[in-house]
Structure 1
Amino acid sequence: MCRRGHRVTIVTARVPDGGVPERYLQGKEGVPRVIHVPGALLTRHWLRGSAREKIRQLLTEHEALHLHGVWDFGNVQLAEMAREMGKPYFVSVRGMLDDWSVAQKYFKKRAFLAATRRRYLDRAAEIHLTAEGELEQACKWFDRRKGTVIPNLLDLGPYRDPPGPELARRMFPVLDGGVPAVLFLSRVHYKKGPEVLIEAAGLLRKRGVDAAYVIAGACDDEYRIKLSALAQSCGVGDRVHFIGHVEASIKISVYQAARVMALPTSQENFGFVFPESLASGTPVITTKGVDIWPTLERGGGAMIVERSPAAFADAIERILKDPILRDGMSRDGRSFVFEEYNETKIVEQFESMYRRSRLRTHRLSAAPRITHFVDSTDLRGGGVPRVVLDIAGTLSKAGRPSIIMTCETLDTPAAWLANSKPSSEPGPIDPMIPAVYKLAANARMKSAIADSGMLDVVEIIRRSDVVHLHCVWSVANLQIANLCRILGVPYVLTTHGMLDDWSMKQGELKKLAYLRLGGRAMMEAAAFVLCTAAGEIDQSHKRFPRGNGRVLTYIIDLEPYRELPGEDLARQQFPQIAQAKERGEPIVLFLSRLHYKKGCDLLIKAAKRALDRGIAATYVFAGTGDERYINGLKELATTLGISDRVHFVGMVKGQVKVSLYEASDLFVLPTSQENFGLVLIESMACNTPVVTTRGTDIWKDIESSQAGVIVDQTDAAIADQLCLLFSDKSRLRELGRGARDWVFENYDETLIVGKYVALYEEAARSSARKERSLFGRTFPVLRLLGKHYVPPEE
């Protein structure tokens, strides 16, 4: 975690000599800081008051607390401290709730759970388990939905270049005694089954199978004497050897010197020794008492058998007598471990778990219910539907129950549509995902809601604390704003760039009339009017001079971009991509709605200019638009003689879209106006640099990121950048290198969601004053609807 830039502190009451690297204790840069709290324990399990205060101070410097283990009152104390401080905490149960574990001292553990479960397990942000098998056994003690399965993180670095067996053979001659070695490496404890292995050794000797049985691990003297006596009685006293605890490179060498590692354990939630042995090239024999046994078996390097001497004897004999089988298991097991337990993959899963907690910390004790309205969730309509889906989805994950009202539900997730309670008592069934209600549209006027739909709207608003309206040019927004004022529910409105100067010039007279007939009053009566950038609010505020404007960037769901799928999906889906890669040509991507304001024609003309200057590239246009406009673009490409280089691939979504960004060398958006430009952020999240214009309201941010280039909106300026970047690959790589980091530093949804939470809280506290119906007075445009639904005065 520290190597990835996280600040990690480990607090412990005991630090054994040599058990912690000195640089950890010194708090060196790039490694965990280990804080030793001596005398922390009042008894074996309770923390002293002085220790609690020291840990409390440390917790103020951190965002989350990760506790390990179950049977410790000190953990319960720390969990309560975290809750008091508003810090999420996680619990790794470490196999302690497996059936076998709970059965040991059963009544004592049941009493502990009865006393602490609600305070400890039930209030954890998430409960970490290392395998599905562990979750299946443990979930009877907590809400299964809290369970998160992530394998333990194992540092495989020392196993990538192992030291070889000679080191161990020099230190332990038994490993070089002329007979194959069977290794038992673990804490020497009855639950691990050393007796089973020793009895199996006796059976094998009777069958004429000779081997040395090496038991490596800490063992108390009394138990070792007992095991030695058992070995003598089984006729293998001369073949069972105790070599004590081994670690670091010696341990890896011991694994390599053994022919097979056998652990007849009763219970392991994970068992580090198994991936360690496999990573060393040594096959494993174990039991179904290991929660990850299906994973081990699937990897091909392990045999899973019954926990009996006969079963272990059979498995050991089979491996010792069949070198081809043994070599195959060794090869398969080693490659499997490096793929299955790749450190980067696993640490990203932990990061995701911690990130979810940051969302949850923004919950209020009585979370305001947020309702969004957008005309349509059809993603072909541009970025607004995408933004609304992302905001509602992220807020719901953050414990902010959200509803979306819309007249068109295309591209809405099916689970959201199925998550709606009856409209008489609206709300989400599962509060962690939004509920979506489809409203009946007015047959006489575009962008208005029918009276039958308004009945549903009234019930939804009555059960909302804040209503969030999206866009300006919608009669439905006027209807909903009118109802909000009648019912005394505050609302906010996001303009989505529709009041930018360029946008206002398109159909200007019609828009000015709309503002005069109610649009301006709607915005000035809102708790807040939201713009996504300073550049947008500078242009927009003159349209609502008495309104309360705020700058608040979009919440973007970056989850699909955290683990990138690679280029192969795009290559398979689009032959043009694969062919360009084979030719070694750069790929330029345009991904947006195909509309004249986006400057598609400028990019095609720039492509011709670049080609004339010796820059041959493939240009991919992804998106939908008016058929006549698209045909015009195709004709332009044909006229310029570059139709073989310009490809229109239609709308792309999901992982294919992410892969297309990755496969591209440069993203170009020569737009006339964007209040934000989601596609720019998406492209940069895929390490693909961008070229755009000052028509994008966040152009200054992109320019300062040093991961994008801002140009004049002309084909000549765009062509200059194409030639410059594709002639200087180092410059292109430099732009791409910083793009992804910049996006996650500035647009991580777990950070931005807090700003939305604060804004909704402030809006909810404003408690809008109930007014008489404003129909026909403040919003006179509503008269055009004729008979219009107005709820009874309350």
Structure 2
Amino acid sequence: MTTLSTDHGLTRVGPPLTDNSAPFQSARRIYAHKWTNDYKFAPGLIPIIFRRVSDYDVVHIHALFTFTTTVAAWAARARGVPYIVRPLGTLSCYGMHARRRLLKRLSVALIEKAILRNAAVVHFTSDVERREAEELGLTFRGVVVPLGVEAPAVVLQHPTHLQRSNRRLILFLSRLDPKKNIEALIDAFAFSPMLRAGSALLIAGSGSSTYVDELKARCKDRGIADLVVWLGHVEGDAKAAALHAADVFVLPSFSENFGIAAVEALFAGLPCVLAEGVAIAEDVARAGAGIVVPPKAAEVARALESLLDDEAERRSMANRARIFAEDTFSSRVMGQRLIEIYQNVRAPRRTNAD
């Protein structure tokens, strides 16, 4: 397996598809310099993609509306290699309307429509994500495979900065972005006498300094600055500590094509308050592991109050959350499902006789 990407971030990969027993070291990562942020323009990947795409059985493309993913789809089709597309939430209602609405519609008509139609499979991570893509009237062969998530490590003792006397801890864990609707969470906390009296709010995640400053100013204006703990970006033990210290997890996003942070919270046994725009929200509610609300401050506040006011129900919901996460989102199960898809769509191996 080879991962081609821009230098925008890193990707974890596993052993090659054609030899499941091969060591991890056989996986390769190739990065090219990204010239622009908006379209991920990285011309250095063009010769690499066209030269090497025929060496592989399957190409798995992540995201749409970017230069590199478009080139990958065209190269795979030109060389007769089947490809899979994971839209990464770009076809959601929010994704299509929030930014550059007209430009995206034009791009779909000229580029993405054909990419999706010619894909061997379009990989969605939730039923909601697939349904919203279908509403665009596009033709594709879709399959839903949730993301595999690892359970957070067990933390035996909470760090002192996460200890807030007898206050219940409400955790928000995600990227700090207007899409996440953190303003509604701050207002929900500020306008609820019950939450202010007996709770503290943990906000974990990073974002632009300007936006974070706006959120902190909002907390100050609402009179809750001393009840909010800003953890910044957390990972590893720090993330596990936050998850295990919290009593409730909340994600009031306008849109999430999956919701990895919510799944991590489920693994940690946290009852979840999720906005309707979180793709897995309906599944979480059906499993009795959380409450689904409109993305409004008053509704978020009521849900948090109901959970924090009923310890017995909170404990029962925590147990259901763990069971649901282990049965539905384990990396082992999801990895096997992806392998089966790869085996079903991969191109026949070329031989010298061919």
Aligned: 1:522 with 2:109? no
Matches of 1:667 and 1:590, distance apart in 2: 6
Return the match for 2:330 from 739, 748, 760: 748
Corresponding residue for 1:705? Answer: 287
2:307–2:313 contact (8 Å) kept in structure 1: yes
Corresponding residue for 1:644? Answer: 226
- In the TM superposition, what is the alpha-carbon distance from 1:375 to its structure 2 partner? 4.5
Aligned: 1:758 with 2:332? no
Matches of 1:544 and 1:432, distance apart in 2: 42
Aligned: 1:489 with 2:71? no
Return the match for 1:733 from 311, 315, 332: 315
Deviations 1:200-226 (A, max 9, x none): xxxxxxxxxxxxxxxxxxxxxxxxxxx
Q: Alpha carbons of 1:567 and 1:706: their partners in 2 closer, same or farther (altered >3 Å)? A: farther
Q: Scaled by the length of structure 1, what TM-score is found?
A: 0.42
Matched AA of 1:518: I
Matches of 2:156 and 2:230, distance apart in 1: 21
- In the TM superposition, what is the alpha-carbon distance from 1:567 to its structure 2 partner? 3.9
SS at match of 2:85: strand
Give 1:243-262 correspondences, 5 Å limit. Answer: none
Q: Alpha carbons of 1:766 and 1:626: their partners in 2 closer, same or farther (altered >3 Å)? A: farther
Consecutive unaligned residues of structure 2, counting only runs of 5 or more, are: 350-354
- In the TM superposition, what is the alpha-carbon distance from 1:728 to its structure 2 partner? 1.4
- In the TM superposition, what is the alpha-carbon distance from 1:659 to its structure 2 partner? 1.6
SS at match of 1:529: strand
Aligned: 1:599 with 2:181? yes
Corresponding residue for 1:458? Answer: 50
Matches of 1:534 and 1:588, distance apart in 2: 28
- In the TM superposition, what is the alpha-carbon distance from 1:459 to its structure 2 partner? 3.7
- In the TM superposition, what is the alpha-carbon distance from 1:456 to its structure 2 partner? 2.3
Corresponding residue for 1:658? Answer: 240
Aligned: 1:447 with 2:40? yes
Corresponding residue for 1:469? Answer: 61
Corresponding residue for 2:352? Answer: none
Aligned: 1:499 with 2:100? no
Corresponding residue for 1:623? Answer: 205
Corresponding residue for 1:696? Answer: 278
Alignment identity in percent?
23
Consecutive unaligned residues of structure 1, counting only runs of 5 or more, are: 1-369, 379-384, 402-427, 768-794
Q: What value does the CA root-mean-square deviation take over the aligned residues?
A: 2.6
Corresponding residue for 2:216? Answer: 634
Q: How many residues align?
A: 349
SS at match of 1:732: helix
SS at match of 1:590: strand
Matches of 1:442 and 1:614, distance apart in 2: 47
Q: Alpha carbons of 1:567 and 1:510: their partners in 2 closer, same or farther (altered >3 Å)? A: farther
Return the match for 1:531 from 106, 114, 124: 124
SS at match of 1:436: strand
Matches of 1:662 and 1:444, distance apart in 2: 35
Matched AA of 2:121: F
- Runs (4+) of structure 1 exceeding 6 A deviation are none
Matches of 1:749 and 1:397, distance apart in 2: 16
- In the TM superposition, what is the alpha-carbon distance from 1:374 to its structure 2 partner? 4.8
Corresponding residue for 1:511? Answer: 104
SS at match of 1:620: strand
Q: Alpha carbons of 1:599 and 1:614: their partners in 2 closer, same or farther (altered >3 Å)? A: closer
SS at match of 2:65: coil
2:167–2:200 contact (8 Å) kept in structure 1: yes
- In the TM superposition, what is the alpha-carbon distance from 1:466 to its structure 2 partner? 0.6
- In the TM superposition, what is the alpha-carbon distance from 1:455 to its structure 2 partner? 2.4
- In the TM superposition, what is the alpha-carbon distance from 1:445 to its structure 2 partner? 8.0
Give 1:199-210 correspondences, 5 Å limit. Answer: none
Q: Alpha carbons of 1:528 and 1:755: their partners in 2 closer, same or farther (altered >3 Å)? A: same
- In the TM superposition, what is the alpha-carbon distance from 1:543 to its structure 2 partner? 3.9
- In the TM superposition, what is the alpha-carbon distance from 1:399 to its structure 2 partner? 5.1
Return the match for 1:687 from 251, 262, 269: 269
Matched AA of 1:634: K
- In the TM superposition, what is the alpha-carbon distance from 1:460 to its structure 2 partner? 3.3
Corresponding residue for 1:566? Answer: 156
- In the TM superposition, what is the alpha-carbon distance from 1:441 to its structure 2 partner? 3.2
Matched AA of 2:154: L
The answer to which structure, 1 or 2, has the higher relative contact order (CA under 8 A, 6+ apart) is 2
1:671–1:696 contact (8 Å) kept in structure 2: yes
- In the TM superposition, what is the alpha-carbon distance from 1:443 to its structure 2 partner? 6.7
2:6–2:33 contact (8 Å) kept in structure 1: no
Matches of 1:699 and 1:633, distance apart in 2: 25
Matched AA of 1:564: V
- In the TM superposition, what is the alpha-carbon distance from 1:615 to its structure 2 partner? 3.8
SS at match of 1:604: helix
Matches of 1:660 and 1:398, distance apart in 2: 39
Return the match for 1:553 from 136, 146, 153: 146
Q: Alpha carbons of 1:449 and 1:610: their partners in 2 closer, same or farther (altered >3 Å)? A: same
SS at match of 1:696: coil
SS at match of 2:334: helix
Matches of 1:607 and 1:731, distance apart in 2: 21
Deviations 1:376-415 (A, max 9, x none): 563xxxxxx7xx63xx34x6699548xxxxxxxxxxxxxx
Matches of 1:586 and 1:399, distance apart in 2: 49
2:5–2:32 contact (8 Å) kept in structure 1: no
Give 1:98-113 correspondences, 5 Å limit. Answer: none
Aligned: 1:671 with 2:253? yes
Matched AA of 2:138: P
- In the TM superposition, what is the alpha-carbon distance from 1:613 to its structure 2 partner? 6.6
Q: Alpha carbons of 1:397 and 1:735: their partners in 2 closer, same or farther (altered >3 Å)? A: farther
SS at match of 2:226: coil
- In the TM superposition, what is the alpha-carbon distance from 1:758 to its structure 2 partner? 1.4
Q: Alpha carbons of 1:688 and 1:764: their partners in 2 closer, same or farther (altered >3 Å)? A: same
Matches of 1:706 and 1:682, distance apart in 2: 16
Q: Alpha carbons of 1:473 and 1:681: their partners in 2 closer, same or farther (altered >3 Å)? A: same
Matches of 1:651 and 1:757, distance apart in 2: 32
Give 1:280-429 correspondences, 5 Å limit. Answer: 370-375=1-6, 378=9, 389=12, 392-393=13-14, 400=20
Corresponding residue for 2:298? Answer: 716
Matched AA of 1:464: Y
Matches of 2:276 and 2:111, distance apart in 1: 31
1:371–1:467 contact (8 Å) kept in structure 2: no
Q: Alpha carbons of 1:443 and 1:698: their partners in 2 closer, same or farther (altered >3 Å)? A: closer
Corresponding residue for 1:586? Answer: 168
- In the TM superposition, what is the alpha-carbon distance from 1:566 to its structure 2 partner? 3.1
2:272–2:289 contact (8 Å) kept in structure 1: yes
Matched AA of 1:620: L
Matches of 1:540 and 1:742, distance apart in 2: 26
Matches of 2:18 and 2:232, distance apart in 1: 34
Deviations 1:218-270 (A, max 9, x none): xxxxxxxxxxxxxxxxxxxxxxxxxxxxxxxxxxxxxxxxxxxxxxxxxxxxx
